[in-house]
Structure 1
Amino acid sequence: YFYLLLAQGRIYTALTGAHGLRKDLVEKLKALNPRFLRFPGGCIVEGFSPETAMRFRNVIGPVWERPGHQLMWHYRSYNGLGFHEYLQLCEDLDMEPLYVCNCGMTCQGRAPVLFEGEELEDMLQDTLDAIEYAVGGKDTVWGSLRAQMSHPEPFRMNYIEIGNENFGPDYEMRYRKFFDTIRARYPNIRLIANTHLENQGIPADIVDEHFYSTAEFFAENIHYYDGYDRKGPGIFLGELAVVRGWVGQLYGALGEAAFLIGMERNQDVVELASYAPLLENVNYNAWFPNLIRFNNRESMAIPTYYVWKMFGNSRGENVVEAEEETGILYRPVKGMASLMGPSGLRYKNASWNGRPVGISHELMGRIEEKDGVFRILPPDQEQREEAEKLYGVDPERVFAVFGEEEVTSGAFDIEIYAEEGKEISLGIYSSRMPKEVYVADETHPPKEWNSANVKPFVWRLENGISSFREQAYPEDKYLDEERLVQLQYGQFNRFRYEADGKSMKLYVNGECIHEAAVPSFPAMACAVSDSSTEVIVKIVNFSPEEDEVEISLDCAVETDYKAVVLTGEKQAENSFEEPERVHDEERLLSGAAEQFIYRAPGYSVNVLRIGKKK
């Protein structure tokens, strides 16, 4: 299995040093012991117009002759690190190049332009030219140019990703065209799809999956790949990062480390993995967090960098079976109730812990009151215009939030008028998600409270069926089985839920319909690998307290062993003033045996390297 890195073209600046690159940045990259480098990265590949789409031909030759282009990340890239420099860097650090090509479409999240006819053929030819430049003989057109650039022998090129974050029928058609052409000419190159096209009967060697979320999301999904089809395509975990909550901080790194633990346990499925993005010139910041940050004088790394460094330098040869027993930690939740669904919903007598409570945030729809009965009117023009800026918001559905955001436990009661065939949906724990640093439109940012930023657990009743689920990616997760429910249509029904931060009970007219736990994750997670000479144990401790981890091995080991530890305060982060406030530390310890105790510090990532007895 590989641990790798992602290069985003938007983050490069003028660099100097060996092969034109800055020494401190390359040294930090080398210290990760990476096995591949993705280039040119993500959205830079697609661009937001045909003129800004990435083309191989524009990133070779003398730097001063490269045209550069405007990025969707709000500044211009001059492509100082081009295709040749990229291949040279991969060769210098013994990394596999993973080239991402534009497959004939601009960014689908930004009014996409589809290339047709000659434009599409030209983009395909541009990709073939790039491959020829990398691996073609000196007698080929592009191989001869590589030779003129002082590299007569071919580079490696074993991976090509077709497109970036593309999807749907338009992508499938273009992907198939690129796949068939490249496979026919270069059968040994492994081809990577952006989505699970195998479900449509379209071949793919590897599928690229991206995850941007909270530390808790990553910790809760340690088993994400356990159920994947072992006969399907391999997985390229192409982009992952904590972008909400503990962003760039130690606790965020712990969440990402837990996800890597799950990835390593499933290394027969997950073939490649990379953080995103890799580098950031802080003077041209458009996204945060980035693994390595630099200015014109110095560079530093965020805590996550050290997780990848620790894991990347401690792979072992085989992942071995390991079992763990540990406690659980519950996802931090807060907020009161909300009402969602079609407009016209009527309710009365809403209360929290027996005291009347009203609507505090009209996210979609307006509240009208008459004689103690409240009705949610359809969203108005202002709300509809706001919804157009947001992803995944249905402008026809209402969304209204009750009470205060900071509460974590209590009981909510409400009477809702039931109409046959009409949905009733209540939200439990209706608070804002932690802030995301990146804002797509900085000139017109969305409101603090909006329908895309509040994701409660959803209790839905429709056509006699009650369901309780979490809004999740890539699809909703059921928190309890669906149940039949008897509503009294044509009158008000009593709804109640009780929540204490760990469990939730949902009632209709006094009958308990659902009982479910708040999502949780293991307080400690581990993965074990070995070689002929040592056992490698990776441990993530989410608890603030030291954890006495009882380790049982099935082989004789040496007493002295090494531990590499990343720990600190939960919110600790690095800066140019304190570049190593959070960093890995090597500790030489004694006391290892077939059964022994290792004391994992609170909030820590630990890699134990234990020698086997000869």
Structure 2
Amino acid sequence: MKSVQPTLTIHTQDRGQELGDLFGIFFEDLNHAADGGLYAELVRNRSFEFDPIDRAEYHALTAWEKIERGGGKAEIAVEDGFPLNPRNPHYVVIDIQSEGDGVGIMNLGFNSGIPVKRGETYLFSVYARREASFDEPVVVTIEGTDGSVHGEATIMVQSSEWTKYEAKLTAIDTDFSSRLVMVTKGKGKFYLDMVSLFPEKTFLNRPNGMREDIAALIADLKPKFMRFPGGCLIHDGSLNPDDRDSMYRWKNTLGDLAQRPARRNNWSYNQTLGLGYYEYFLFCEDIGAKPIPILPAGYNPHHKLIVPINELQPWIDDAFDLIEFANGDPSTEWGGIRTKLGHPEPFGLEYIGIGNEEVGEPFFERYAYFHKAIKEKYPDIQIINSSGPFAAGSEYDRGWKSARENKSDFVDEHYYQTPEWFLANYHRYDDFKAEDPKVFLGEYASWGNTYYNALVEAAFMTGLEKNAHAVGLACYAPMLCNVDYINWKPDMIWFNNHEVYGTANYYVQKLFMHHQGDQLLPIEANGFEEKQEIKAKPINGAFALGTDRCSFRFWDMKVVNNDTGETRELHGGSSAELSDTDEDRLNGTSIQTLELGESDWSNYTLSLKAQRMSGPKGFNLYFGKRDANNQLYWDFGGWQNQDSALCSSVNGRTSVLTQSIFNVESDKQYELTLEVSGRRIRAYIDNVLINDTEDKLPVIEPLYYSASYERSTGDVIVKVINVQENSVGAEIALTDLQQTSLTVEVYEMSGHALDDENTFESPERVSPKQKEFRTEGSGFQYDFPKHSITVFRVK
């Protein structure tokens, strides 16, 4: 019997679901994404506001050093008695003891130093005043670590009042490890604040602008939207907007740079807020991305800080004012403020998010007030609700319940998982209902920046496209990482102080953004081999316990075969203690893990009793353990002692399968039960079911694919991903086309080892190749290489 030719049939005239603003980007200031990154300021700690509240080792002179030349002597201090601005109170005082050849101060910049390129101009500015010697120049230089001068300018500080001075320096050498130096002679005290150095060439030459190379790489993506400014930094802070460690309050980020307060960033560094809301809106406009700002809702889930309901109105007013700032006529209060900043035209805000991956009833109680008020005043604004940081569980369900009850426009889903999880959950959104709120997949990534990660993400993204009835917005996260200040990885774009590159994941995102299309087209697969289903392995193997910074005791540990009733005692039937406190570590008695035994059963119940003697969180119960990199575990009292989660580790990478809120109390005895049946897992605390999930295994499709129509060009776009170890040949058939011949542009990523990554040395090692061909008729044959990502644009 003749085999059927494998065929992908695209119905080109059967226009379906709108794809809208599906693929965009997410900016969060972590990994020094803003200061020392996208924000082009080259001076670190420019206003002497670094503080231990930001990071334990920070102080007001972090990144600064005293300069004494040719016998000069000076004392340097930081004061706040006569500030330039009360919101930015600190400034440096250089007390000249002996002038010598000059005394002053030097800034070390970010990374290896301040990068300058030969022939390029840099804009220096400073607020300064001095007590005496008004005729003595202040010499401003960009210097190498060997003292060589790369650029020089002179300013005259001729007032005892704060005055802004500006100068231009043109570099005569290229040096990525320079220093900014300010030196003067004379006598008396010399005061400095807001010391700044910007490249004259910023992105689109905007003042106070973006670093050109990073911004250009972002702009090249052509994202439909940008979500900003976070992230957990939205809600992690105090409730008072004037506090140094307040929640992120957008109004603090507007106006004169000198009066924007410094802020503790919850990723353990300082935020200058030089990149503020006005700059975010401008950047969105510059790159053609719709802005999606995210606001706090008066609840900090990290530290349980809660605004009383009767005090919530000012927070709601902040949302009103933001919408007016973005969209209001210049005659309105906040539209007028935008106009004074230089932008009389509205920014055209369409979306607003309330909260970031929130958990806990206090948030959802408050969300309802925001939603009702915003919809009444601004009915056309689309509001985004939250569903927590995990792909399933009680908080995820709570978020969706809130969204349905309030008729939210979107629900923000977040998950970072293994590549295997993404393949196993390819059909995640198939059964979501079109009448429900739409999904905003606001943060997602597989763990890694290899080609394999990008390949799997591309396969998953075709599923997002095909489920456009349910998924409205999606953005990979995080976007930016400075290699010398890593808080989190993977990341889409990596940079140092003078270089930048896009990862393999970046190029997948770029392909999908450039070739998204406007409407889905039906696509059918016929004649392909069956899906490659991995045989459902039982979850069996070793059992173990582990803890971190806690002390626990365990007893009555046993496992029962649910099929036969056979019972085995674990740990030899004896009780056990695990201790990993600081005191234990100091005296060398720390015990972090404890092996309990193993089983080859596939249907069993494990039970034990546990009690915490000391410590801030809980412990892990490992099961189905093959080795340290391949196992499942129950995270009992995880993160900030807020979770009960079931997790799966594959090749050293972990997926949180489901999560519920739970808090472990010291000295309380807990009865814990874990039921495993096939791939189904249930966890009980004191006989109450708290977690229920299935650890799905990947089912490999013969090909992953989607098709769309683009209105502006009339092009038909077809994406095909082959994750298999072998090539797959297929006929691409396009129905109902009038042309007798076709021009087909092809963008393909293939021929890469699965562990290939881009680097500074090879920034485009993993990136698409482009070609074009013509074909007679309304179809063509194509051989999809193993591990390939292919995009056809049929002209």
2:601 matches 1:402: no
For residues 470 and 430 of structure 1, the distance between their equivalents in structure 2, rounded to whole angstroms, comes to 18
The 3-state SS of whatever aligns with 1:128 is helix
Is the CA contact 2:743–2:794 (under 8 Å) kept in the aligned structure 1?
yes
Contact 1:75–1:284 (8 Å) recurs in 2: no
Aligned to 1:513: none
Does residue 1:62 correspond to 2:256, yes or no? yes
Q: Deviations over 1:124-167 (max 9, x none)?
A: 33222222211222222222211111111221111011100113
For residue 726 of structure 2, what is the aligned residue in structure 1?
545
Q: Secondary structure at the match of 1:85?
A: helix
| Distance change in 2, residues 1:121/1:430 (3 Å) | farther
In the TM superposition, what are the counterparts of 1:139-154 in structure 2 within 5 Å?
A: 139-154=331-346
Partner of 1:469: 679
1:523 and 1:277 map into 2 onto residues whose CA distance is 30
Gaps of 5+ in 1: 350-358, 360-365, 370-374, 387-397, 404-411, 420-424, 436-443, 480-516
**Structure 1 residue 283 displacement after superposition:** 2.8
Contact between 2:543 and 2:625, CA under 8 Å: does it hold in 1? no
Q: State the match for 1:585 in structure 2.
A: 769
- Residues 380 and 564 (structure 1), Cα distance of their counterparts in 2 relative to 1, 3 Å cut: same
Question: Is the 1:336–1:431 Cα contact (8 Å) retained in structure 2?
Answer: no
2:220 is equivalent to residue 31 of structure 1 = yes
- 1:225 maps to 429
Counterpart mapping for 1:533-612 below 5 A? 533-556=714-737, 558-567=741-750, 568-591=752-775, 593-611=777-795
2:222–2:514: 8 Å Cα contact kept in structure 1? yes
Q: Is the 8 A contact 1:55 1:123 kept in 2?
A: no
Out of 87, 96, 101, the position equivalent to 2:295 is 101
Query: 1:71-90 residue pairs with structure 2 within 5 A?
Result: 71-90=265-284
Contact 1:331/1:519 (CA < 8 Å) preserved in 2? Answer: yes
Supply the distance in 2 between the matched residues of 1:191 and 1:159 (Cα, whole angstroms). 6
SS at match of 2:299: coil
The alpha-carbon distance between structure 1 residues 418 and 295, as it changes in their structure 2 partners (threshold 3 A), is closer
Question: How far did 1:65 drift?
Answer: 2.3
Q: Distance between the aligned counterparts of 1:429 and 1:140, measured in 2? A: 63
Aligned amino acid, residue 304 of structure 2: P
Aligned counterparts of 1:214 and 1:418: Cα–Cα separation in 2:
26
Query: 3-state DSSP class of the match of 2:793?
Result: strand
What's 2:349 paired with?
157
Larger RCO, structure (CA 8 Å, separation 6 or more) = 2
Is the 2:604–2:677 Cα contact (8 Å) retained in structure 1? no
Pair 1:307 & 2:517 matched: no
In structure 1, what is the Cα distance between the partners aligned to 2:409 and 2:603? 54
The answer to whether the Cα contact below 8 Å between 1:160 and 1:189 also exists between their aligned partners in 2 is yes
The residue that corresponds to 2:459 in the other structure is 258
Partners in 2 of 1:115 and 1:41 — Cα distance? 20
How far did 1:579 drift? 0.7
Aligned partner of 1:115: which letter? V
Bigger drift between 318-327 and 275-284 goes to 318-327
Aligned to 2:114: none
Q: Separation in 1 of the partners of 2:467 and 2:227? A: 22
- Identical residues among aligned pairs (%): 29
Alignment match, 1:234 = 438
Query: Residues of 2 paired with 1:7 and 1:418: CA distance?
Result: 43
Q: Which moved more, 1:279-288 or 1:586-595?
A: 586-595
Structure-2 separation of matches of 1:434 and 1:24? 40
Among residues 698, 701, 705, which one is paired with 1:522 in the alignment?
Answer: 701
Which of 558, 568, 577 is matched with 1:380 structurally?
Answer: 577
**2:27, 2:479 within 8 Å by CA — same for their partners in 1?**
yes
Inter-CA distance 348–469: structure 2 relative to 1 (3 Å threshold): closer
| Distance in 2 (alpha carbons) for counterparts of 1:209 and 1:414 | 32
Name the TM-score, length of structure 1 as normaliser: 0.74
Q: Output the amino acid matched with 2:790.
A: N
Letter in 1 for 2:216: E
**Residue pair 2:451, 2:505 contacting (<8 A) in 1 also:** yes
- Classify 1:289/1:592 alpha carbon distance in 2 versus 1 (closer, same or farther; 3 Å): farther
Amino acid at match of 1:527: S
Q: Which residue of 1 aligns with 2:306?
A: 114
Change (3 A) 1:118 1:56: farther
SS in 2 for 1:271: strand
TM-score (structure 2 length as normaliser)? 0.58
Q: Deviations over 1:333-370 (max 9, x none)?
A: 89951459995345799xxxxxxxxx9xxxxxx9543x
What is the total number of aligned residue pairs between the two structures?
509
What residue identity is the alignment partner of 2:215? V
Task: For residue 300 of structure 1, report the CA deviation from its aligned partner.
Answer: 0.6
1:240, distance to aligned residue in structure 2 (A): 0.6
Shift of 1:294: 1.8
Correspondence for 2:25? 5
CA deviation digits over 1:471-502, x for unaligned, max 9?
Answer: 59x975558xxxxxxxxxxxxxxxxxxxxxxx
| Range 208-217 or range 40-49, more displaced | 40-49
Compare 148-157 and 320-329 and name the one that shifted more. 320-329
Larger radius of gyration: 2
1:17 paired with 2:203, answer yes
The 5-angstrom pairing of residues 142-541 of structure 1 reads: 142-194=334-386, 195-198=399-402, 201-243=405-447, 247-324=448-525, 325-329=528-532, 337-339=541-543, 344-346=556-558, 367-369=570-572, 375=573, 377=575, 380-382=577-579, 400=596, 402=598, 412=600, 427-428=623-624, 430-432=626-628, 467-470=677-680, 476-478=692-694, 518-531=697-710, 533-541=714-722
Question: What residue identity is the alignment partner of 2:785?
Answer: P
1:3 alignment partner AA: F
Larger % of helix: which? 1
Residues 41 and 199 from structure 1, CA distance in 2 versus in 1: closer, same or farther, beyond 3 angstroms? closer
Contact conserved, 2:570 with 2:597, CA < 8 A, in 1? no
Inter-CA distance 327–64: structure 2 relative to 1 (3 Å threshold):
farther
Which residue type is aligned with residue 314 of structure 1?
Answer: H
Determine the C-alpha separation between the residues in 2 that align with 1:603 and 1:376. 50
Q: Distance in 1 between matches of 2:474 and 2:579?
A: 42
Query: Does the Cα contact within 8 Å between 2:445 and 2:476 map onto a contact in 1?
Result: yes
Alpha carbons 2:539, 2:602 under 8 Å: kept: no
Superimposed CA distance per residue, residues 23-51 of structure 1 (whole angstroms, 9 cap, x where no aligned partner)? 22222122211111111121111124443
Post-superposition offset of 1:313? 1.0
Query: What is the one-letter code of the residue matched to 2:762?
Result: E
Q: Which moved more, 1:582-591 or 1:526-535?
A: 526-535
Change over 3 Å in CA distance of 1:588–1:401 after alignment to 2: farther
Check the 8 A contact 2:371/2:406 in 1, yes or no.
no
What root-mean-square deviation, in Å, do the aligned CA atoms of Structure 1 and Structure 2 show?
4.0
Alignment of 1:45-60 (within 5 A): 45-50=234-239, 51-60=245-254
Task: Say if 1:303 and 1:475 are closer, same or farther in 2 by CA, change over 3 A.
Answer: farther
2:232 pairs with 1:43: yes
Q: For residues 556 and 676 of structure 2, what CA distance do their matches in structure 1 show?
A: 20
**CA distance in structure 1 between the partners assigned to 2:285 and 2:221 by the alignment:** 15
